[in-house]
Amino acid sequence: MHHVDIVPLVAGLLVFLSSLLSLELGMSVAIIEIVLGVVAGSMGLKTEEWMIYLANFGGILLTFLAGTEIDMPLMKEKFKESFLIGTFSFLVPFVGTFLYTHFIYHWTLQASLIAGVALSTTSLAVVYSVLVETGLSKTQIGKLLMAATFITDIGTALALSILFAKPTLYTGVFIIISIIVIILATRYSHLVFDSRRVKKSSVIEPEIKYVFLLLLVFMYFANLGDGHAVLPAFLLGLLMSKHFSETSETKTVRNRLRTVAYAIITPMFFIVGGMRVSIPMILSAAGLFMILFVIKIVAKFIGVYFLARKYIPNGSMYTTLLMSTGLTFGTIASVFGLNSGLIDQVQYSVLVGVVIASAVIPTFIAQKWFMPVEEEDLVDMNNGD
């Protein structure tokens, strides 16, 4: 009898079940996908290369889509607010985690720095997914929240690069190619998104394939240069956002792109993220796991809540909880530390476990008890200045 690979079937089943459970429970589908991923991994399901690549692409695609949702005029107008919230959202957890793991738990300097970076993150992918599902991505709260999240992730990426990266010629190639792609796409994408062509291409979808091609270019050169395509993907989405909002036809393109992404690509990102967790290793260091989780949540609260209360009075706790989430960069930092020999397998599992827990628990609490009021009932954020 021929060997039949059951992994794609199970993955498809998890994606489908996540959608059904999300509708029935009223919870973010991203949370359910992560939890089912943890369950599948605990039952012995192993990630395959195609799943890992598709998951990586899903994270990049979510980041690009998040960039297209940013309101550039609002971001410029509210730069101080997003910068302060994003900066302290990164800085306080980074310092708190580093101090505890190095001086209290006696991890090595480099391991403690990896821990600080991993637990300082806010997952733009999780934040964006939740905001889209709840309809808040179009509100001022949602747009400011995504802008602040991007600032946090910039801090995380810079910290990882400055502290650990060893630039090579290929790193320079990745940076140069990213800049060229962003400039050319910003200037000439209108040729692809021409409304007359869009009307004729509802089945052929050249616009979606064009976006996929640009993101695949980022991924290829990022892998070549030991970098990551998240930041250029977000910048590309940010600068291409005008192409998705000029006409009703181009707005439809974004909706179709989102539909394609959420059908299979982005669910794989969250499911694979959950499958990375090793429950036995976390249980072997359960005390440390709980302490690091509490440190991250408390540090995020200290770094975000008081600023959010000033600038987003009707959504301060919701903002704080969503900015406590982690996934993409937290996992990236942990994987880098493991592959570089800076942390061991137990430390890696604990860090990734905390990252996954922070993607699930704060999001659940935020959606269950702290959903902001509707946009028309919000106090004008200018009053917080």
Could you tell me the CATH number of the domain that includes residue 321? 1.20.1530.20
- Look at residue 1 and tell me if it is in a domain: no
Q: Which domain holds residue 312?
A: 7-384
Percent of the chain with pLDDT over 70: 91
What is the pTM (predicted TM-score) of this model? Answer: 0.78
- What is the chain's mean pLDDT, rounded? 84
- Look at residue 361 and tell me if it is in a domain: yes
Three-class secondary structure of residue 365 per DSSP: helix
Average pLDDT over residues 268-277: 83
Average pLDDT over residues 251-275: 83
Give pLDDT, residue 204.
63
Give pLDDT, residue 309.
93
Give pLDDT, residue 385.
45
Task: Report residue 335 as tokens.
Answer: 């994987």
- Look at residue 2 and tell me if it is in a domain: no
* pLDDT one-digit tens code per residue, 184-233: 998 888 787 765 555 555 556 788 889 999 999 999 998 888 777 878 88
Query: Which among 96, 125, 29 is positioned nearest to 298, based on CA atoms?
Result: 96
- Give the CA-trace dihedral at 310, 27, 136, 52, to 10 degrees: 100
- Look at residue 156 and tell me if it is in a domain: yes
Query: Which among 126, 103, 123 is positioned nearest to 113, based on CA atoms?
Result: 103
Spatial contact of 36 and 18, defined as CB atoms under 8 Å apart: yes
Select, from the ranges 8-12, 42-46, 180-184, 376-380, the one with the highest average predicted confidence (pLDDT). 180-184
Give pLDDT, residue 376.
43
Neighbours of 147 (CB within 10 A): 25
- Look at residue 92 and tell me if it is in a domain: yes
Percent of the chain with pLDDT over 90: 32
Average pLDDT over residues 59-72: 80
Select the more confidently predicted residue: 49 or 2.
Answer: 49
Give pLDDT, residue 384.
45
- Look at residue 143 and tell me if it is in a domain: yes
Select the more confidently predicted residue: 133 or 347.
Answer: 347
- Cα–Cα distance measured from residue 292 to residue 298, given in angstroms and rounded to the nearest whole number: 10
Give pLDDT, residue 381.
44
The total number of structural domains in the chain stands at: 1
Spatial contact of 113 and 143, defined as CB atoms under 8 Å apart: no
Task: Quickly state the pLDDT bin for 24 (edges 50, 70, 90).
Answer: confident
- Look at residue 35 and tell me if it is in a domain: yes
With a CB cutoff of 8 Å and minimum separation 6, the contacts of 43 are: none
Select the more confidently predicted residue: 133 or 103.
Answer: 103
- Look at residue 132 and tell me if it is in a domain: yes
